[in-house]
Structure 1
Amino acid sequence: MSETISTLIKERRSVRKYDPDFTIERKEILEMLEQATRAPSTSNLQPWEFLVFLDAEERKDLRKIAYNQEQIETASAVIAVLGDKEFYNNIDPVYDSMSEAGFVDDASKAVLVGNAHKAYPHAPEESRKNMATFDSGLVAMQFMLIAKERGFATGPMGGFDKVQFAQRFDISDRYFPIVLITLGKENAPAYSTTRIAIEEKVKFI
């Protein structure tokens, strides 16, 4: 029986110790990423890309870029989540697809496409990066919960040299690295954490 979302959230931990002999099929990784990309995004323009690191030699270099954190090599895979600064290039393909699926009529599509073309290509790059970062964060969290539901462990990693990453893995200027997510089988329990009392973080107005 599938666990409830509340249980998954409570039991998910950021894992650092993985079974280096455990493998996950590419097909299952693709399935999890496809599910994760059901997350909401700015005007449904899906400003994300993924690099899935499986190759041992590539991960040796990635480990150096990630300040020698061992989980880069011991996890079954490492997912690099990239933001798309030029997500406005997705406007026509996305809305064409929605139209073909019957989700929007021609009049609504014309309005949506027109508004998107007015807004996003001319927005400052920093604003577009902020939108892509926010949306990619939603996808990353959704991916980790999907992986947990399937019995896998994950760990988000912001600690890596993003400039070196882009250079080493030939990332085009359109994209920028946001987070690495390790994926695999837990080899040692992750420590539990506490949270500041919610009453200290919430104000009702």
Structure 2
Amino acid sequence: MKARKSVRVYDPTFSIPKEEIEEMIQMATSAPSSSNLQPWRFLVIQDPEVKKELRAIANNQEQVETSSAVIAVLGDHEMYQKVEQIYNQNFAEGHMNEAITEQMINSTRRVYPQISTEARKNIASFDAGLISMQFMLLAKEKGYDTVTMGGFDKEKFAERFELPEGTFPIVLIALGKAAAPAYGSSRLPVNDIVRFI
């Protein structure tokens, strides 16, 4: 945690194999998730020409183009549609019995469609934050650097990458090898942000 910094200057000649990025994402999926519905989706952008296009959508941020890859973290506000797949897998792996599996599937199918789209987007965004942080810590552990970017045109992004119905962009993570040290940053004192009762 202390070693990870937001790096904005990357070595453009450095590349990370697709298999290693897949492995990091797989490991990061151990993050907590509301009702275990795992509403996170990912678009990994490595093609130099596509990254150049993305840079224009992302307020001309240099790291979009010079990093090894940009991980677009997306949310699926129709996440409850995968409830049977998820809970049947939980049952198959021995995490819960058949009765609880059925109960969870039925409860999710009853409750989630009644929740507003905005509220489901908030759930997906929160879960995306959890998995994004895990991914960045894993990347640092493997010797890579990252920075999250919320400053991009989400409408243009969704249009350019033809995101499926129900899927929306949340954050971009540049991933690569630092070519210059990151700036340090201060944090508010604990007494300013915590209240014990």
TM-score using structure 1 length: 0.95
Q: CA deviation at 1:90?
A: 1.2
Counterpart in 2 of 1:3?
A: none
Please tell me whether residue 188 in structure 1 is matched to residue 188 in structure 2: no
Selected match of 1:114 from 106, 121, 128: 106
Selected match of 1:53 from 42, 45, 51: 45
1:102 is aligned with what amino acid? G
Please tell me whether residue 162 in structure 1 is matched to residue 154 in structure 2: yes
Please tell me whether residue 43 in structure 1 is matched to residue 35 in structure 2: yes
CA distance in 1, matches of 2:116, 2:61: 35
In structure 1, stretches of 5+ residues that fail to align are 1-8
1:126 is aligned with what amino acid? E
Runs of 4+ aligned structure 1 residues displaced above 4 Å come to none
Please tell me whether residue 30 in structure 1 is matched to residue 22 in structure 2: yes
Q: Deviations over 1:103-140 (max 9, x none)?
A: 11111111111111111122110110000000010000
TM-score using structure 2 length: 0.98
Selected match of 2:92 from 77, 83, 100: 100
Q: CA deviation at 1:154?
A: 0.3
Q: CA deviation at 1:173?
A: 2.6
CA distance in 1, matches of 2:133, 2:116: 26
In structure 2, stretches of 5+ residues that fail to align are none
The SS at the match of 2:147 is strand
CA distance in 1, matches of 2:99, 2:88: 13
CA distance in 2, matches of 1:166, 1:98: 32
CA distance in 1, matches of 2:30, 2:82: 16
Q: Deviations over 1:151-183 (max 9, x none)?
A: 000000001000000011111231000000000
1:87 is aligned with what amino acid? M
CA distance in 2, matches of 1:123, 1:166: 23
Selected match of 1:69 from 57, 61, 82: 61
Q: Deviations over 1:29-55 (max 9, x none)?
A: 000000111101011110010000000
CA distance in 1, matches of 2:138, 2:35: 23
Identity fraction in percent? 52
The SS at the match of 2:113 is coil
